[in-house]
Chain A
Amino acid sequence: MIFKTTPSQTVGPYFAIGLPWPEGPHAVDPATPGAFTITGTIYDGAGVPIPDHLLETWQADPEGRFADMHGHGGASQMEGFRGFARYGVEVGDGEYQIVTVKPGRVKEPGGRLQAPHIAVTLMARGMLNRVVTRIYFGDEEEANASDPVLSLVPADRRQTLIATPEDGGYRFDIHVQGPGETVFFDV
């Protein structure tokens, strides 16, 4: 390392004038067969929804390939797949929705397969840096049971990383603080 990184600062309350765009919440074209919605609410430590949050997701396609800018790991061949979604609104109510498909299984560096998962970045006014979590899927019990990342999480907190199947997709709420606090990762 020659240089130090530029420090993070809060995204603040006014990011909606610059960061969201209409198709931003779509990790895939919504017309894609099998596309579903992940919906959730972001809560603060008092259990109050955080209306001014910015949520971003990043994931593999169903074949386990990423739409990586350099094609790393073999570029996704899926039509209309971006794998990245950004949700943030000017006047929010604490909810988010993203449209996506279920990712395939990708390897960790030791060669084991990970369970299907989506990486999440969450920012908001009052957060001086992003926090990072992961979405796993409640209907992937077998894969989740052997997932190398989930196994690093204390067993009694793993449930905070599991999205619940519901009509039209999944629900994944995030508790930034307090009872049922979501697991956040140091990456």
Chain B
Amino acid sequence: MSTEETTRTTDEGTEPIYAPIVDTPGNYLREGPEDHPPLNFPPYKSTALRHPKQALVYLPQTITEITGPALGDARVITPGDTDLTRQHEGEPIGERITVSGRVFDTEGKPLRNTLVEVWQANACGRYRHRWDNWPAPLDPNFSGAGRCLTDDEGRYHFTTIKPGPYPWGNHYNAWRPAHIHFSLMGRAFTQRLVTQMYFPGDPFFPYDPIFNSVRDEAARERMISRFSIHGTQPDWAAAYEFDIYLRGPASTPFEEAF
């Protein structure tokens, strides 16, 4: 595996370039309880009947777990898939934004050619879904779903509108902070991740049990995008950047497994 590293200079300064992964790791890093939310989290009421009570069984990673599909052909990527403001005849109402970033593993290696899927509410916080019936208008020009494959440097890029916050029934006066759902396939079954990207400074953060189900403050910060004045396109769209880190190779080549 190449560990060659160079740097690149942009108008934001100098940043390192890491070589993409070319080898398949023999096994992937195992994560600790502070890295992800617990499956049982009483403040989020729907977890009560939807978490296993028995202990998870340790599964040594086999080739089944260290491989993964290429879904580029199955999920045909058209220009409209990356620009959620161009999927209908008219433009959606709302604050036009770009959301971009890179997908890395925890070694900092970019994951190329991996599927990134997003879905979100419209500017009023309403999803185009049969079960979402809170009294905010649907936007005929906004479906709220997109997808793309990362490029050779692990980059993805979407144009969309900023989703609104919305109320939900978890507790009295419960509101979800504005967020965009992200689905990452990575390159292996072990790397599969679904998460939510939040916006900086959201006033609903302290009251949201889903955001706060991640108990470690630094880990919560990793779900918050950053505003970029450098990426913002004059007279067009505000830029938010969100890098995503998936599990990388374990430091020991083989698990003492079976």
A contacts with B: majority SS: loop
- In whole angstroms, how far apart are the Cα atoms of A127 and B47 in the complex? 6
Q: Which of A7-15, A30-38, A93-101, A163-171 contacts B (4 or more CB under 8 A)?
A: A7-15
Contact of B44 among A107, A126, A182 (CB under 8 A): A126
Q: Give chain B residues whose Cβ lies under 8 Å from the Cβ of A145.
A: none
Q: Give chain B residues whose Cβ lies under 8 Å from the Cβ of A2.
A: 106-108
- In whole angstroms, how far apart are the Cα atoms of A106 and B192 in the complex? 21
Q: Mark B100-133, 1 if CB is under 8 A from A, else 0.
A: 0000101110000110011101000001111110
The reply to whether A17 and B36 form a contact with Cβ atoms under 8 Å apart is no
- Asked, given contacts A7-B220, A17-B128, whether A129 binds B58 with beta carbons under 8 Å apart, the answer is no
- In whole angstroms, how far apart are the Cα atoms of A56 and B185 in the complex? 11
- Asked, given contacts A10-B210, A185-B58, whether A1 binds B251 with beta carbons under 8 Å apart, the answer is yes
Q: Give chain A residues whose Cβ lies under 8 Å from the Cβ of B1.
A: none
| Interface size counted on chain B using CB atoms at 8 A | 90
- In whole angstroms, how far apart are the Cα atoms of A91 and B71 in the complex? 25
Q: Give chain B residues whose Cβ lies under 8 Å from the Cβ of A44.
A: 49-50
Q: Give chain B residues whose Cβ lies under 8 Å from the Cβ of A68.
A: 24, 67-70
The answer, yes or no, to whether B63 is at the interface (CB within 8 Å) is yes
Q: Give chain A residues whose Cβ lies under 8 Å from the Cβ of B79.
A: none
B contacts with A: majority SS: loop
Report the minimum CB–CB distance from A67 to chain B (whole Å): 6
Q: Mark A141-163, 1 if CB is under 8 A from B, else 0.
A: 00000001100110001000000
Q: Give chain A residues whose Cβ lies under 8 Å from the Cβ of B53.
A: 45, 177-178, 181
Contact of A60 among B30, B36, B56, B64 (CB under 8 A): B64
Q: List 30 A-B contacts (CB under 8 A).
A: A4-B222, A4-B245, A5-B35, A5-B246, A6-B195, A6-B222, A7-B220, A9-B194, A10-B194, A10-B210, A19-B119, A60-B64, A66-B64, A68-B70, A69-B68, A69-B70, A69-B113, A90-B130, A106-B64, A107-B62, A108-B60, A109-B257, A109-B258, A124-B50, A128-B44, A131-B52, A149-B62, A152-B57, A184-B57, A187-B190
